[in-house]
Chains A and B, each alone.
Chain A
Amino acid sequence: MGEVRQKQRQEKEKSIDKKKQSKVFLKKNKSSDKRRLNRRGPQLAPSLQREVGRIKGDIGSDSYEASDCSEGETFPGDVYEYEEAVPEEESRKNRRYDTVDNYEYELPDHFKDEDVFSDDEEIDERDGKGNLTEDSDDADPKKDDDGSHARMLQNITGMPREAFEGKKKNNIVISEAYQESEYNPSRDVLDGNGRISIEDLLNPLQGKPGYSMLRKRTHQTEKKSMALQAPLPKADRERVERKVAYEQSKKEVSKWEPIVKKNREASTLYLGEGVDLGYSTVGAIASEFEPRTVIEKKIASLVHDGKIMEAHKNDGSKLLELNKVSFEDEKDRQNQLAKMRSLLFRHEMKAKHIKKIKSKTYHRLLKKDRVKGASVQIEMDPDAAKELAMKQEFKRAEERMTLKHKNSSRWAKRILSRGLNVQDEGTRAAIAEQLHQHANLTRKMHTLKDSSSSSDESSDEDYSDDQSVDENNSRVSKLLEKAKDKTLKALEDGEEAPNSGLLALPFMVRGMKKREEAAAEEAKLAIQEFESLSKQLNNSETEYINTETTSGRRTFGAMKKSAPEPRKKTKSEYYGDTDGEDDTEAREAVEYDGDNNNSSLFADANIVSDILCEDSKKHQNSVFKSFDETVRDPGPKTTYEVAIFASDRWKKVKNLEKRVDSTTSAIVSSKPNLQGQAPKETMQDVDDQSDSDHELMVEGVLSSANNESYELPSQADLIHEAFAGDDVEEEFERQKEEILNEENPEPEKPVLLPGWGQWTHVQKKKGLPSWMLKEHDLANKKRQEALKNRKDASLKHVIISEKLDKKAEKLYTKTLPFPYTEKDVFEHSIRMPIGPDFNPASAIGALNRPEVVKKSGVIIKPIEFEEVDPYQKVEQHKQNGKKQKRKNSKTKSGKSAKKLKKAGA
């Protein structure tokens, strides 16, 4: 055994050496065949290789298989075998490369391979055997071979031996590696001689069923005898295949085209139409409920209890019985509840009480605040101050009465009797505090009396209203005197001057003097003023009350005066033709007062208006006259008469009017036309008549009419009317010019900088540069163009503003919305309102239908195939769509996720 192992090891070492030499790591292959396949580079087919081998002449030496089996050695005749050359770096040719270490992993010399039985070895061994057998085969039966072969052929084909003879001649003895079999055909067969024809194969079948048909077919094929073409190269073949596939899929897809088109063109898609959702009420859902979990089952068992169900069935009276609770139980429950409630209540009260309790610091701060607030209030409010003073007075009095804080309490007495020095700090501080408080309280009185004069004054003023006048005056005079004294003092003081230092310098002294003089003068003036003031004060002391009352009266008087003044003014305005804005109101006010005198005014006004309104107003004039007459007789103001003319009174009035009409019909009819150039005399006659008529009428119907009159045009209106119309047109044109200039401003006249180019006289001579003039001209031309393009260019008396309204800009679209390219088309398309206010109910739905209509909660299924006539009109499509209730979506239609149901098949 040991020997065998050694041998094996040696072999292995050998093989490793070989590998090293070739420097090619060969993978351990499972079989030699595989290794052959793994050999890199293209290879010839084995048969061809064999042929090549034969041509090369090493016949009989070693067959392909044998040579192949020798490991590691490359096949010498293999044209395509790629031999890896030694890399140049390693060959160290010409020393072009640096010496490079070989980093390839080399097995160490003492490497011991693990004793693993690899497949290779086995195969090697087997190959070895195979070689052996081959060798033996090579040796003996060469001559036998031909005979046996012929015999075999004879046996198979049943043909005479001679038939095979001829071939034998050129039969060069070739040692076959394998025995001939159907898997390993002889070369004759491969060469084409001695081929097995179909006939040969058919013959044995003779007489069997289907034989004649087979023969026929073979005959047919033989007759045609088409040579099969070589298969196309792969690329071409694939292209062809792709083309066919494309055609096919195109056909498949284009089948969908009309559907897609239809969907795209449809104004509305109906998705998920035909689905019946069934009932979806709560009851319906609940009826299908089945208890599953434990608790559900429990509940169900209780609910569906036989007893209860029965009780429900029998009008439910038994339910009450089932519901019975014992008296004790109920009582217990109530007691429990009451207890809990009372507990809660108590707890609540406690909480409230606790919440109300405030800390010591809180109270201290509160007090501080209060004191502060009070002090502020005193300053602000005299009443509060008064109150406080009262309070303090009261406290003071109390303190004085009780001496509460003068160590009179039992506690204080006890402490004092024990001796203050013995006490601790806190107690002493408390005692001191008390004493301090006492002092404070008593001192307060002191301060109240004469702490400061100013506050005293104010408080005095507050307290004593009646004395205030005298006191005030005396105080003022005192003040004045004080001021006087002070100024005098200052004057005297100012005279002493320093004798040394900076201030003693002469110019300083001078300056000082000047200043002093000025000050003295000022002081004198002040004194004078004080004196005059004090005098005045003395005088006013006597008159004080009087002046006050007069001032009050004065305001009252002024009011009184102001009231009649405007009245006068209006009247004067009325007479004196002034243009007042208020005159109408004023006049009305006058009228309202009930002055009957102003009827004459109206007459005047009428005359004015008559003059203004020329001849054709004659009729109105008469109206005014009559009106004035009606005005003259006053009547009750507040009564008014309502006449509904359906009654007979209407007729009365009408009769009266008719009479008027009969007399004045001609004029009346012409009057509205106001071309009325009826002769004046007749007009006047008629007026007289009508006047009388109106008097009658006034008696009849308008007996209650009083001094009211129709409002006359105001003075302003009259003046306007009188003077308007002379140069209105001109003015308007001027205005238009202005506005045009504003909206399309005139270009600035070209100007040079002052002094520019003047020093050479060249510029002067040349005038303005030509480009300036040109620019000006251009601007002018532009302006003219703009003016011409205005809407009001041809309208002389119209100005149409072309100002852009920024606020209204948002109501317009700035650019055409997307699919539109023509402004006109867009504007026409939005001309119709589509809301329910503007369209009949039958049309609104169609006008406002959304692009996609679908039901909520319904799964939208992918598009289905259906036959569509591509030349149908859209209108019909829509109806079809509705009828068929398509379940297709626009977006999915082109995609592969289609479920195909052929409509036809």
Chain B
Amino acid sequence: MEKELGNAVAERILPPTEQEVSDEIDVKLKKYLRGEGANLEVLKDKKLKGQLSVIEDLYGKSAKAAAKVEKWLMPSEGGYLEAEGLEKTWRIKQETISHEVDILSRRNQHDIILPALGPYSLDYTSNGRYMAIAGRKGHLALVDMKDLNLIKEFQVMETVRDVVFLHNELFFAAAQKKYPYIYNREGTELHCLKEHGSVLRLQFLKNHFLLASINKFGQLHYQDVTTGSMVGSFRTGLGRTDVMQVNPFNGVIATGHSGGSVAMWKPTSSAPLVKMLCHLGPVSALAFHPNGHLMATSGSERKIKLWDLRKFEVLQTLPGHAKTLDFSQKGLLAYGTGSFVQILGDLCGAQNYTRYMAHSMVKGYQIGKILFRPYEDVLGIGHSMGWSSILIPGSGEPNFDTWVANPFETSKQRREKEVRSLLDKLPPETISLNPSKIGTVMAVKKKEKKTKKERDAEEEAAIDAAKGITMKKKTKGRNKPTKREKKKHELIEKAKRPFLHEQIKEEEGLSRKRLRLSEEVELPKSLQRFARKKTVT
């Protein structure tokens, strides 16, 4: 007690700035501790207790060091728009922003008008440096977003429905008219993935190196891009859809269907992990929060719903129709309809999304896809007349971890990272709803009682095994045929015994139950007076 008091006093004595710092670190410390330590009081094993307490101390130290590192080495904080007085953040236009920001940021506000080959779909690399765009009419291009340099563009002369980067900017896959293809940065066709069929939507799972696709017939395919093997291919059985999104937290793929249902898939099971009825109309768009706990769906009945994926419950229902949805790294939600983009933000941090910004394109531009650029406050919009990019303050993660994604990556670093990520590649079976459960004790399902048939089969097998045992040649009198026969018989009996025991036990249990039941049965009225009276206490 005294010690605690002493501590409290010491804390009080701290100067205000330090106090602030320690509070801040405490918050981060909690994050890095990843939950609380186990209650060691429960343990009876002293040795284990000692070991665990030592480990727990180490964890604490590590978390504290990490918190300090974060505090001092990742100082940039994401900015956001703040309104003063009667101002509203959603009234602030792009041009007003452009007056305030630096030249480099201003370059991120642009419209590229390519009217011939639209509508455009786009994808960013995980570090946000490169963008791949795909015009519906066969225009594929690769753009370096840092200096807005066109790396390569080419025409495939057929419909391109979607484009997606593989693990880095060197490779990208395009869903074309009949099959998806994989191209390299130079535009050379590397692979034609015929097994996928005519794909409507592509997704790439970075950690598992899986290319997922859904085709016209509602078939879901997973292909390992490192080995080329087809990891899984399933019929969704829910019809044609082009709404598919991967959950960045656990690698589960969600597909939205015309029945208003959203199904979540993993590559190792043909049945969906989760199937939920989200809307009454067809699901038109789907997006996941980077932390994986939040899903946004929009249906054609003009509703946008936010779902808590831990409880599978609706958090919030917003009116509106979205053709495309996307969450930013910092959790802003953008949706596009027609030529209008709306950004919602969780401004108060209570899972309550409200209007944050809005942007309307030139009328007549139909937005096909919106995508936040990672590590930048930029929203990319692919529309019928090309693509645009606007500034959304506070959307991107300000501190990048070069081990995770480096926007200023050199080619050498890229190579290093490729090797690293290949070494760290996760097998497809690690995809599950809650990957943090991996390594824990499997929840043992209560084993059903074996049916009689199974039991019989087992018994027969045991007897056969006993019969099959070859007898050793014994010396002298013990090798007589009678003795051998006897021994064999004994062995068979021995094999039978456990089953008999089991049966007897069961029968006993049944009879006991029967007894209990019979006691409860009321006697006929004439005999009731002979019944044993219960002693009333």
Write the residues of chain A forming the contact surface with B, with a CB cutoff of 8 angstroms. Answer: 264-265, 267, 581, 584-585, 588, 591-592, 616, 619-620, 622-623, 626-627, 630, 635, 637-638, 640-646, 650-651, 653-654, 657, 660, 668, 671-675, 690, 693-694, 697, 701-702, 704-706, 708-711, 716-717, 720-721, 724-725, 728-729, 731-732, 735, 739, 792, 795, 797-801, 803-805, 807-816, 819-832, 837, 839-840, 842-843, 846-847, 874-875
Contact = CB atoms under 8 A, between A and B. Distances in A.
B430 interface: yes
Contact of B439 (A626, A653, A694, A812): A812
A803 B340 contact: no
Contacts of A267: 51, 54
B358 A840 contact: no
Nearest to B403: A837
Interface in B121-152: 136-137
A813 B268 contact: no
B439 A813 contact: yes
Interface stretch (B5-13, B60-68, B184-192, B373-381): B60-68
3 closest Cβ contacts across the A-B interface? Answer: A828-B38, A710-B366, A843-B62
13 contacts: A265-B50, A650-B95, A657-B360, A690-B363, A724-B300, A725-B280, A728-B261, A728-B277, A732-B277, A804-B445, A810-B429, A824-B38, A874-B50
B457 to A, nearest CB: 19
A611 to B, nearest CB: 14
Given A638-B116, A721-B282, A843 B366 contact: no
A623 B282 CA distance: 23
Given A717-B282, A805-B268, A825-B43, A729 B364 contact: no
A840 to B, nearest CB: 4
A813 B441 contact: yes
B476 interface: no
A22 to B, nearest CB: 49
B438 interface: yes
B503 interface: no
Interface residues of B, number: 106
A614 to B, nearest CB: 9
B216 interface: yes
A629 to B, nearest CB: 9
B269 interface: yes
A591 B437 CA distance: 52
Contact of A800 (B65, B113, B274): B274
A672 B442 contact: no
B350 interface: no
A640 B429 CA distance: 47
B109 A674 contact: no
A829 B115 contact: no
A388 B369 CA distance: 70
B346 interface: no
A519 to B, nearest CB: 56
B330 to A, nearest CB: 21
Contact of B260 (A668, A672, A728, A799): A728
Given A637-B116, A829-B55, 10 more contacts: A622-B363, A710-B384, A728-B259, A728-B280, A800-B312, A804-B445, A828-B35, A832-B34, A842-B65, A874-B54
Contacts of B42: 822, 824-825
Interface in B322-349: 337-340, 342
B73 to A, nearest CB: 10
Contact of B268 (A619, A620, A705, A808): A808
B48 A820 contact: yes
Nearest to A716: B240
A653 B47 CA distance: 75
A123 to B, nearest CB: 61
B396 interface: no
Contacts of B465: none
Contacts of A731: 259
A831 B34 contact: yes
Contact of A640 (B115, B260, B280): B115
A673 B44 CA distance: 60
Contact of A641 (B50, B113, B118, B355): B113
Contacts of B386: 640
A839 B511 CA distance: 62
B339 A623 contact: yes
A811 B268 CA distance: 13
Residue from the set A821, A827, A831, A874 with the largest chain B CB neighbour count within 10 Å: A831
A419 B57 CA distance: 119
B441 A620 contact: no
